[in-house]
Amino acid sequence: MSTSETPIDAVIERVRRVYRGWHRQTPVTQMRGDWDALFATGLGDATTETVDADGVPCRWIAASGVRTDAAILYLHGGGFQVGSTASHAELMAALSRATQCRVLGVDYRLAPENTLDDAIEDVAMAYRWLCRRPCASRTVVIGDSAGGNLALTLAIAARDCVDGTMSDAHALVLMSPWVDMTASGESYETRSAADPIHQRAMIQALARKCLGPSYATGDPLASPLFAQLAGLPSMLIQVGDRETLLSDATRLADRARDAGVPVSLQVWDGMIHVFQQFPNELREARDAIDVIGDFVAVQLDHP
C-alpha cells in the first residue's frame, strides 16, 4: 500500500483486480475459484469440519472455547453465482470468535446451473437439519448480500412453518443485504458514483441468471423486502454508505420497524459492499464484527 493509499482503497483494488480478469467468456468455475482465492487468508485458531446436512454440503467453523448451546447459520453472498464456505471461511471464523458460537456455513446450489428455488431449498434443508441439533432453540441466522436475501427468506419460512420442522430463528444479522431484485432503490442513482464495483446493470443481470422461469423480480420470494415481515426476530443490519445497495438495507429497516420488528440499522461511513470480509485490512470490519458479537450475545441472553 502506497503512502497515499488508504486501507479501503487497497481493498477496492484487490477486488477490482479479480473483476478485471473476467470477461463474457470466463467460465463460471474460474470465477468461483478466483473469488474463493481472493479471501483465502486463514482461520487463525478456528477449526473446520465439513458435514452433510441431509444432502446439503456444509461446513462447521468454530473458534476455541465456543458455547455448545447456540449456533450461527451462515449464508454467504456472491450474487447467487460465486461464493462458498471457502470464500467466507475467514469471516465465519471471525464471527465465531466474536459471538463465541459455532458457525455452520451452507454451500447452497448456485446459478446459472441452478435457480433461486434450489438455493432456497438447500438453505431450508440445512436449517431443518440444524433444528434437530441440541442448539436448535438458540440459532442466529447471518447472511451477507445474496446470503442476506436467503437469510431473510429463511426467517420468514421458519415463522410460517406449521409442521414443526423449523424453529424460529433467535435473531437475524444481515450484512449489505440484497433483498430487492427489482433494483428500485434510490441509492442505485445517489451512490452510483461512490460505489466502485456494483451498479444497477450488474445487479439486474445477476437477478436474471438466478431467478429462472419461476419468479418475477418483485416476487417476495425473490425480493423479500416486499414480504410480510411481522413476527420476525430482532434484526441487525449493517451496510456501507458507498453502496448502491444502501437502499435495500434502509428500506428493509423501515419496513421491518413498521411491522413491529426490533431493528438496529448501522450505516458505516466510507465502506463498501460487505466490507466485513476484510478484517485484516479494515479497522471498520473488525469493529463491525465486534458489534455483531455484542448483538448476538444480547439476543442469546433473551429467552
| DSSP characters over 180-245 | -TT---THHHHTTTT-SS--HHHHHHHHHHHHTTS--TTSTTT-GGGS--TTPPPEEEEEETT-TT
Beta strand 139-144 with 171-175: parallel, antiparallel or unpaired? parallel
CB 266 within 8 A of CB 237: yes
Q: Tell me the three cell numbers of residue 294.
A: 455484542
Distance, in Å, from the CA atom of 44 to the CA atom of 55, rounded to the nearest integer, reads 29
Catalytic site residues? Answer: 145, 243, 273
Q: Tell me the three cell numbers of residue 153.
A: 427468506
CB 46 within 8 A of CB 61: yes
Sign of CA dihedral 243, 189, 216, 30: negative
Using the structure block, give the residue that is written with the C-alpha cell 445487479.
Answer: 203
DSSP 8-state class, residue 114: S
